Structure 1
Amino acid sequence: MNLKRARPALAPPARRPGVVLAALAAGQFIIMAATSIVNVALPHIRAGVGLSDSGTTWVVNAYSLAFGALLLAGGRAADLLGRRRVLIAGLALFAGSSLAAGLAVSSGVLLAARAVQGIGAAAIAPASLALAMDLFPSGPGRGKALGVWGAVSGAGGASGVLLGGVLTQAWGWPWIFHSVALGTVLVLAAVAALVPRAAGRKSGRFDLLGTATVSLALTCLVWGLTTARGTGWTDARVLGALVGAAVLLVAFVVIERRRPNALVPPRLFTTGRVTAGNLLMALMGSVWIALFFFLSLYQQQVLGMDPLATGAGQLPFAIANMLGATLAPRISRRIGARATVTAALLTEAGGMLWLSQISAHGTYLTDVLGPSSLIGLGLSIAFVQMTALSIEGVPAQDAGLAGGLVNTTRQVGGVIGLAALTTLAGSVTAASHQSQLEAVTAGYRTAFGASAAILAATAILALLLTRSAGRRRIATATATPASQLQTSDI
């Protein structure tokens, strides 16, 4: 598909960039909420549409896999077709598929709708982030905008759990999807009214071969990891899927090096600190989705909390998350980006290590409140800094692709982490000779302990990869007077 350069008249600058940022951030909030909103309702969804244990996991994985596998394509499409246009199309698709998920009466329809939701999210995330970065070029304003982005992302994940509990308790699980559909329609209206039309599009061809190769590779990888939980790692289908994923990923690298209009052009990794930022984001993302998954199950299955109480229990996490994201740019100015990233990751690791001590006879106040608040604080600060690191130095014409890449690494890391950690937890539970409650709790403890180890290793890696940054602020490098944003605008 050959796309010619378009040169419409330049759009007038937004008079209230903070208002436009709010509309764009609302789209990010919606897709993050959709990632976690099903967690509390999983037992009800399983009973409602007749899902097996492995099928229940795919209510999460179908969305996350389509989201992660197509984010690069969504970012590239935003650069080529126009970011506002792709964002609006993604929001429309997301709203329609959310409505279909709420109306589903069979597992097949539900999982298909969740996959289409992921496709819509893959268009929304990179396009909205690129538009936000267009509003605030490098400078203090960008740091504040990324703080807002981090707060909204974390709040979306935590609020999804809360909304899932409230809606499931009040009206039943279909309303978690109906509410997402309604919220998406409102965001769509705000984007159409507030976001100015793009000034132009980049010329080039869409890399269909590269997109198909990497999407199939990621599908094979996650399917193999998920299936291994029930069949074992020596199962021929599991081994075949994992080998196929490895071969396809190698093929993708070869294809991208030879194509003039590659989905992920090698030049992207020679600018700024894109490689370091994305690697760290993938590692942190590997425990992100799993945190909400296991914590919600522990609160319901072990502590006996109902969906409403489980959702309300995420409020301290959400508050800590928003506080951390708001403070992240300020902390980075004080102690430097390197120290900020490392301290945030170690804080998050400490919270996970605390969760690894949960008891089968514990309570929310003693086992969940403290560690979840600590994790929320560290996660949000790390997220803001890693996002800034991943887009630093990227040319404006590749902003959509860079946004797609950082979202891809986080989302795919989360899918792989969820598959691996559920396999690990399931293996520990199956091997336990204790009561069912004790065995399940042992599996959750192991998953949280492994997450703490991953985050600690990521903190060490961050020290090495950001060594050259010194005390330089990642989020607010190369400030220019014209790009500065007043606090009142946000």
Structure 2
Amino acid sequence: MSHPHTSTHTHAEPEERLTGRQRAGLAVLLTANFTLAVDFSILNVALPHIGADLGFATSNLQWIVTAFALCAAGFTLFFGRVADVLGRRRVFLAGVALLGASSMVGGLAQEPVLLLAARVAQGIATAMVTPAALSLLTAMFSEGRARSKALGLNGALMAAGFTTGAVLGGLLTGVVSWRWAFFINVLIAVAVLVVAPRVLTDVRAERRPRLDAPGAITVTLALVALVYGITTAGQSGWTATDSWLPILGSMALFGWFWRIESRVAEPLIQPALLTRRNVAWGNVAGLLAFATETSLVFLLTLYLQDVLGYSAVSAGLILAVLGMGTVLGGLAAPRVIGRIGSRNAIVAGFVLQAAATAPLAFVGDNRAWLLPLLVTTFAGGVANLVAIVGYVVTSTNGVPEGQQGLATGLVTMSQQVGITLGTPVMSAIVASQASTTTVHGLRLAIGVNAAVALLTAGVVAVALRQQAGSHE
């Protein structure tokens, strides 16, 4: 079978040497994105301690995570466009400053309202920084091997950050205090603000496009409603009014948003951008790549603690093996893409991820399963990152310079919605088997997880093969 041609299929392309400024800029952007990825999971293990210290009701603890995820996913498309309008470096620096300030407030908080306000601000900072950083990164390198390598590193650190957050959160909570999960951000933000202005350059558009305020407000409300509904479903079940009503509302808002975009002179999303198969299907693949692997971390955390009896810290350290796999996958992905193209890398990554996840659908209740778990999660982490880097390359190739902020905003949104969506869906599957043993519910959820990965491989293979040789 011949592979469809992509602009990343570059056997003969010479290696592009990075300048010292490019290396420093890349380090700054990767550090910022890794820190924000860590923030998605660093407080999960610490939630009971935070509840005890600040007086949170147990039923409200999930809002410490949800408030962050809602804002990070809901506002990312808006700030991706703001970065195109006002300048990507400016939005990046403003977001880092907000991250530092909100993290200081969160670390010092003595009451629930203040902590939740800090988490909301951290989520907004994430929505500002991540698409701006990604568009600065893609602008720093021309399409080809150098960009794929940079995106591979970024993808590896983003995925590893989610796992690292769980490990680091457990260690900080057990050794020092959960407050250091916030204070570490302050130190990193200060360092980035000192170095970034010296090494980051922004490519300014000749004419600033107008910001589509009605579209921005509508799509932000739609995303917030969708993420809220999905998150609530993980807590209350899919039949609860609090779950399906926001989801239906989000569908109506997305429909209204599309109507707005087809009528305004300078839309937030030009409909032509989403008619590009590489952009549309690339982002679908990205959403499902993050949804499947981050939710698998959640399922395996339950398995290691509730079934095998490991402590939270031990479970986090065991899952660090998955994090190592993601780093290796991010480093290997550019070579894979160079050989078979970014579209085929997505498909191959999902197939291997499904193959590595499927055996875990048969886990038992004894610790003899630990070694197979380590091997399969490592392999699955490698495969998942190949798919993730493949989707980022696919989704940003061929997009005009003036729309790179929007394209990377879409990439970031698919990441964050995927991270937020996966866990409550898998949690609801486990909860549906409440009348049986915990291990039975986990087996079913892990089996569904593997099936979704395999189905995604098939859909992407068909959808993007149809585009071979056509305009992207």
Structure 1 length-normalised TM = 0.86
| Cα deviation, residue 96, structure 1 | 1.6
Q: Is the 8 A contact 1:71 1:122 kept in 2?
A: yes
**TM superposition shift of 1:184:** 2.5
Do the aligned partners of 1:272 and 1:394 also contact (CA within 8 Å) in 2?
no
SS at match of 1:258: coil
Matches within 5 A, 1:130-279: 130-200=135-205, 202-271=207-276, 273-279=278-284
Q: Distance in 1 between matches of 2:380 and 2:56?
A: 31
Contact 1:225 1:420 in 2 (8 A): yes
Decide whether the 8 Å contact of 1:130 with 1:403 is kept in 2. yes
Following TM superposition, by how much is the alpha carbon of 1:230 offset from its aligned partner in structure 2, in angstroms? 4.9
> What is the DSSP-based 3-state SS (H/G/I as helix, E as strand, rest coil) of the residue aligned with 2:220?
helix
CA-CA distance at 1:380 after TM superposition: 0.9
Q: Distance in 2 between matches of 1:307 and 1:237?
A: 31
Note closer, same or farther for the CA distance 1:51–1:355 as it changes in structure 2 (3 Å cut).
Answer: farther
1:459 equivalent in structure 2: 457
Measure, in 1, the Cα distance between the counterparts of 2:433 and 2:51: 23
Q: 1:152 to 1:469 in 2, by over 3 A?
A: farther
Deviations 1:133-172 (A, max 9, x none): 1110112221222222222222222222221122111112
In the superposition, relative to structure 1, how do residues 288 and 260 fare at CA in structure 2: closer, same or farther (>3 Å)?
farther
Deviation at 1:408, TM superposition (A): 0.5
CA RMSD, 1 decimal: 2.5
Q: Which residue of 2 aligns with 1:485?
A: none
Contact 2:342 2:391 in 1 (8 A): no
SS of corresponding position for 1:223: helix
Q: Note closer, same or farther for the CA distance 1:98–1:298 as it changes in structure 2 (3 Å cut).
A: farther
Opposite residue 413 of structure 1, the aligned amino acid is G
- Corresponding residue number in structure 1 for 2:65: 60
Contact 1:39 1:292 in 2 (8 A): no
Offset at 1:336?
A: 3.7
Give CA deviations for 1:385-415 in whole Å, capped at 9, x if unaligned. Answer: 0000010110111111111111112211332
How has the CA–CA distance of structure 1 residues 58 and 346 changed in structure 2, closer, same or farther, with 3 Å as cutoff?
Answer: farther
Distance 1:284 1:342 in 2: 11
Q: Does 1:361 align with 2:366?
A: yes
Contact 1:355 1:445 in 2 (8 A): yes
Deviation string 1:97-132 (CA, Å, 9 cap, x unpaired) is 222222233333323322211110111111111111
The one of 47, 53, 66 equivalent to 2:52 is: 47
Give 1:448's aligned amino acid: I
Matches within 5 A, 1:91-102: 91-102=96-107
Deviations 1:156-202 (A, max 9, x none): 22222221122111112221121122223222322123213544564
Partners of 2:155 and 2:330 within 8 A in 1: yes
| Identity between Structure 1 and Structure 2 (%) | 35
Instruction: Tell me, yes or no, if the aligned pair for 1:39 and 1:293 is still in contact at 8 Å.
Output: no
Gap regions ≥5 residues in structure 1: 1-12, 433-438, 479-490
Alpha-carbon distance in 2 for matches of 1:354, 1:445: 10
1:27 is the counterpart of 2:32: yes
User: 2: CA distance between counterparts of 1:320 and 1:65?
Assistant: 28
**Residue identity matched to 1:451:** N
Q: Distance in 1 between matches of 2:95 and 2:154?
A: 19
Counterparts of 2:304 and 2:198, CA distance in 1:
41
- Using the TM superposition, give the Cα deviation of residue 30 of structure 1 relative to its aligned residue in structure 2, in angstroms: 0.9
Opposite residue 465 of structure 1, the aligned amino acid is A
1:4-15 correspondence to structure 2 within 5 Å: 15=20
The correspondence for 1:331, drawn from 322, 331, 336, is 336
Contact 2:222 2:253 survives alignment (8 Å): yes
Aligned to 1:350: 355
Count of aligned residue pairs for this structure pair = 454
Whole-angstrom CA distance in 2 between matches of 1:441 and 1:60: 25
Other-structure match for 1:443: 441
Alignment counterpart, residue 38 of structure 1, candidates 35, 43, 49:
43
SS at 1:273 equivalent: helix
Distance 1:355 1:56 in 2: 29
Q: CA deviation at 1:15?
A: 5.0
- Name the aligned partner's letter for residue 285 of structure 2: L
Aligned to 2:418: 413
- Return the letter of the residue paired with 1:250: G
In the alignment, the residues of structure 2 paired with residue 201 and residue 74 of structure 1 have an alpha-carbon distance, to the nearest angstrom, of 20
Question: What's the offset of the Cα at 1:367?
Answer: 5.5
Distance 1:400 1:192, change over 3 A: same
Change beyond 3 A, Cα 1:197–1:425: same
Q: Distance in 2 between matches of 1:200 and 1:413?
A: 31
- Counterparts of 1:179 and 1:161, CA distance in 2: 15
The answer to whether residue 85 in structure 2 is matched with residue 87 in structure 1 is no
Kept after mapping to 1: 8 A contact 2:21/2:199? no
SS of residue paired to 1:183: helix
Q: CA-to-partner distance for each residue in 1:425-482, whole Å, 9 max, x for gaps?
A: 22223x32xxxxxx33333333222211111110111211221576x9xxxx99xxxx
Going from structure 1 to structure 2, the CA distance change for 1:127 and 1:116 (only over 3 Å counts) comes to same
Cα shift readout 1:308-363 (whole Å, capped 9, x = no counterpart): 32332233222221111111121223334343222211121223223333333336
